[in-house]
Amino acid sequence: MPAIIKNNQVVDDQWTLLEADAQLEQALHTQQAIIPLALWQQHKEQLQAVQPLGIWLEAGQAIEDIVDDLTHFAVIALNFPAFTDGRHFSSARLLRERYSYNGEIRAIGDVLRDQLFFMQRCGFDAYAIRTDRCPTDALQSLTELSVTYQAAHDQSLPLYRRRSA
Amino acid sequence: MYIYDHYDQQIVEDRVKQFRDQTRRYFAGELSEDEYLPLRLQNGLYVQRHAPMLRIAVPYGLLATKQLRMLAHITRKYDKGYAHITTRTNVQLNWPALEDVPDILDDLASVQMHAIQTSGNCIRNTTTDQFAGVARDERIDPRPWCEIIRQWSTFHPEFARLPRKFKIAVNGCTLDRAAIEVHDIGLEALHNAAGELGFRVLVGGGLGRTPIVGSCINEFLPWQHLLSYLEAILRVYNRFGRRDNKFKARIKILVKALSPAVFAERVAEEWAHLKDGPITLIEEEVERVSKHFTDPAYLDLSDQDAELAALDVAHPGFARWRSRNVVAHKKPGYAAVTLSLKKTGIAPGDVTEKQLDTIADLADKYSFSEVRNTHEQNIVLADVEQSKLFELWEQLREHGFATPNIGLLTDIICCPGGDFCALANAKSIPVAEAIQERFDNLDYLFDIGNLDLNISGCMNACGHHHIGHIGILGVDKKGEEFYQVSLGGSSGRQASLGKILGPSFAQDIMPDVISKLIDVYIEHRTPEEQFIDTFQRIGINTFKERVYASNH
Ligand code: HEM
Ligand code: SF4
C-alpha cells in the first residue's frame, strides 16, 4: 500500500484512486474508491449508496459542481497536473471556509514537499506525495514557517488581529 | 519607515532557513532543476547569462541607511562591487554565487530585508510614488497601505502559485508617479464626497507582450475592505486565469476576455462572501502601521526662495541642478532631491558599493537616514533642508550624482538587457550610453525639455518602453540585434501606450534616429509644448517621414 501523509503523519493509504475513465462497475466493486467527477455526475443515483466514497477533481474542474453533494464524500482529492498549479489552493479554502466541508481534502498529482506548507494553510489535510519522493522527508515542510500573516483555513484571524505588541 | 516586530523578523528568519534547505536539497540532487526553479524564483533568484542574479526586495522603494550599508557590504563581499536599482525599485546583484545566496539572505534578514517574492508567479513587491509622504500634491500617504499589502501578500498561501506574476501599485497624489494604470492592480487612495477614505481600483493593466491600460472596476472601495477585495480579485484570477499559455496568463488577458464589466461582476460575487469577514481591516492596525510613517523631526523652517535664487545666479550649474533634480516639499524650508544614477557612461541605475556607502552618509547627514529608490532608477533624499542644498550639491557632484538630468532625455529608464539578461533579444545599456553621448550638451538637453526615453531589451518590457514618450525595444532579426522605436507612450494619469514608428533599426544608427525625432519636435513645437504634446498634436507621420527618408 502506498504511503501518504495524513494529519501530519506518514500512513498507509486505505483508498484507491480510480482513473479518469473508470466505469461504474469498478467504482461499485472497489473498497474505498476515490472516483472521478464525471463518474459521479453520470451515476449519482447508484453511487449515492456507496459508503465511504471519495471523489477527485481535475485542476480545471470547479468545486461548485459538487457543493450540494459534499455529505457523500469522505475524501475530496484535488489534482495538481503540475507543482506550479495553484488553482486548487482556492478550491480547498472554499471547501473549508465557504462550504464547511469537514472530510479529508487530499492533494494528488504533482505534489512535492515545497507546496505542502501552503496547502495545509488552505485546508488540505492529506498529501499523496509523488511516488518518486519521500513522504517522510516532505513532512518537514509543514512546519517550516512559524508565523503567518494571513487568515486562512488553519488560522481564522490575520496576524493584525492576533498581534500583541 | 516600517520597523519589524518579532513576528515580521521571525518570518524572514524562517524563510532564510527554508531557502537554505531548499538550496541544499538542490545541490544534493533531491530537487531537480525544474522543481528548484519556482522556489528560487520566489526568492528573487534568476539564473542569467553570467551567474545567478539576485533581486532583493525594497518594499515600495524605502531604504534606511543601515540597509544601504548592508547592501554595500553584500556587493563587496559576494558580488563585484556594484548593484543595480531596478524599474520596480528593487536592488539587483548580477554576480552572486548560488551557494552564497543563503548567507546573503542571512545578512539581509539582520537589517529587516529579504528577497521574498521578488520574482516568480506570485504577488510581487508593491510600488508607489517616490515622493510619498513629502509630495505637495499628496492627498493620502500610500506607504502604510503598501505595507499592509506587503504583509497580506507575503507567503499568502492561496496565491503562492498564480498563473503569472502579479504587480500592485498604490498612488495617493494628484499626479500619478507610480504608473498605477499599467499594473495588474492599481490602487488610488482618495476621499469620497462624504470625506471617507477608500480606493479607486484599477485592474488588468500591464506592459509586456500585450500592453494594456487598466480598467476601473470599483470607483470607491472603503479602506476597511481593501484586503478582502484584493483577495476576491486574486481568487478569481487564480481560479480562472489562463495557465495553458505563459504569454496569455497575466490577469489583463482574463479581464479582456471576460470584459472589465464581467470581470468586475465576478469579483463582486466573490467579494460578497468575503466582505466583513475576519480580514476586514481594523483602525488599530492601520494606526499601528501608520505610526511608522509619521513625519520625521522637521525643524520649523521657512522657504529659502531668495537665498536659493541668489545662489542660482552665482552658480549656473547649481541652478540647472536645482531646476531638474530638486522638487517642492510639503514642509516649508525642505526639498526632495533626486540623485541621478544616469551619468553618461554608467549603466542606468547602477551604483557601486562605495557610492552606496556615500549615499548612506549623505542621507544620515541631510535626510533623516532614509532614501527611496525610484522606478526611474534613481535615488531620492526626500527631506533635505533648503539651506543645505548648495552644500549637498557640491558633495553630490564630487560623487557623480549631480547630473542635472532628471526627467530629461538622458534620464533613460533602461533594463539590464543583453549584457546581463538571458531573455534579452538585444543589448540595451550600450544604446542608452550612445544616446546619452549624443545629447551631452546640457543647453540642448534643457532646451529639449521633459522627455521620457525608455529602453527594454525584449518584450518583457522591464524598461517600460511602451510608456516612454520615446520607447526603444530590442528585437531579434535573424539572429541580429535590432531596435524598434515607438512614440507617444506616457505613464501617469491618462497613461497611453506608444505607437510603433516603423521597421526597426541597427544599433549604430540609434543616436541618429533619436536626433531626427528630436529635430522634428524642435521644428514643430510651440513655445509651451513638451515632446509628448507636439507628438499628440502633429501625429506620428511627420516623425516617420523624417526618420525613414534618409534610408531610401
Ligand atoms: C530523497 C530521497 C529520500 C530521503 C532523503 C528519504 C529520507 C527518509 C527518512 C529520513 C525517513 C525517516 C526514517 C525514520 O523515521 O527513521 C524516511 C522514511 C520513509 N521513506 Fe524516505 N527518503 C527518500 C526517498 C524515499 C522515496 C523515493 C520513497 C518512496 C516513495 C520513500 C518512502 C519512505 C517511507 C514509506 C518511509 C517510512 C515512513 C514511516 O515508516 O513512517 N522515501 N525517508
Ligand atoms: S526587458 Fe527583456 S531583456 Fe530587459 S531585463 Fe526584462 S527580460 Fe531582460
CB atoms B157 and A89 under 8 Å: yes
Do the strands A104-109 and B413-414 form a parallel or antiparallel pair, or are they unpaired? unpaired
Q: Based on the structure, what is the number of domains in chain A?
A: 1
Contacts of B277 in chain A (CB under 8 A): 151
Nearest to B56 by CA among B48, B65, B46, B66: B46
Q: Answer whether the bond into residue B503 is a cis peptide, omega within 30°.
A: no
Which ligand ends up closest to the CA of B424?
2
CATH of the domain at A125: 3.20.20
Which ligand ends up closest to the CA of A4?
1
State the average pLDDT over residues B261-281. 97
pLDDT score of B41 more than 90: no
Q: Which helix H or strand E contains B477, and what residues bound it?
A: strand B470-477
Tell me, what's the pLDDT at B551?
52
Expressed as residue numbers, the domain containing A78 is 3-164
How do residues B77-96 score in pLDDT, each as one tens digit? 999 999 999 999 999 998 89
pLDDT score of B175 more than 60: yes
Q: What is the SS3 assignment for B96?
A: coil
Mean pLDDT of chain B: 95
State the average pLDDT over residues B536-549. 95
Tell me, what's the pLDDT at B357?
98
Contacts of A165 in chain B (CB under 8 A): 5, 288
Domain map (residue ranges) of chain B: 6-109, 135-289, 413-549
Write out the CATH class of domain B413-549: alpha beta
Cα dist. B133→B66, B115, B137, B329, B388 in Å?
21, 25, 10, 9, 20
Q: How far does residue B369's CA lie from ligand 2's centre (Å)?
A: 32
Cβ atoms within 10 Å of B247's Cβ, excluding its own: 12
Look up the CATH number of domain B6-109. Answer: 3.90.480.20
Q: Cα(A76)–Cα(A55) distance, rounded to whole angstroms?
A: 5
pLDDT score of B413 more than 70: yes
How do residues A4-63 score in pLDDT, each as one tens digit? 999 999 999 999 999 999 999 999 999 999 999 999 999 999 999 999 999 999 999 999
User: For ligand 2, is residue B423 a contact (CB within 6 Å)?
Assistant: yes
Cα dist. B123→A33, A85, B132, B237, B307 in Å?
38, 15, 22, 12, 47
Q: Cα(B6)–Cα(B9) distance, rounded to whole angstroms?
A: 5
Q: Cα(B16)–Cα(B124) distance, rounded to whole angstroms?
A: 18
Residue in B5, B7, B36, B230 to test binding to A, most A beta-carbons within 10 Å: B7
CB atoms A158 and B159 under 8 Å: no
Q: How far does residue A136's CA lie from ligand 1's centre (Å)?
A: 5
In terms of C-beta density within 10 A (0-12 exposed, 13-18 middle, 19 or more buried), how is residue A43 classed?
middle
Cβ contact A78:A91 at 8 Å: yes
Helices B531-538 & B540-549 angle (0-180, nearest 10)? 100
Grid cell locating B304: 529659502
How do residues A112-143 score in pLDDT, each as one tens digit? 999 999 999 999 999 999 999 999 999 999 99
Cβ contact B431:B507 at 8 Å: yes
Q: What is the SS3 assignment for B337?
A: strand
How do residues B239-257 score in pLDDT, each as one tens digit? 999 999 999 999 999 999 9
Same fold, B6-109 and B413-549: no
Nearest to B456 by CA among B493, B491, B481: B481
Tell me, what's the pLDDT at B5?
95
Q: Which helix H or strand E contains B170, and what residues bound it?
A: strand B168-171
Q: Tell whether A130 is within 8 A of chain B (Cβ).
A: no
Cβ atoms within 10 Å of A85's Cβ, excluding its own: 20
Cα dist. A106→A3, A7, A50, A109, B321 in Å?
13, 11, 19, 10, 63
State the average pLDDT over residues B97-122. 95
Helix then strand count (H, E) for chain B reads 18, 21
Predicted ipTM? 0.97
- Take atom 14 of ligand 1 and give the residue whose Cα is closest: A136
Written as one letter, the residue type at B24 is: R
Could you tell me the CATH superfamily of domain B135-289?
Sulfite Reductase Hemoprotein, domain 1 (3.30.413.10)
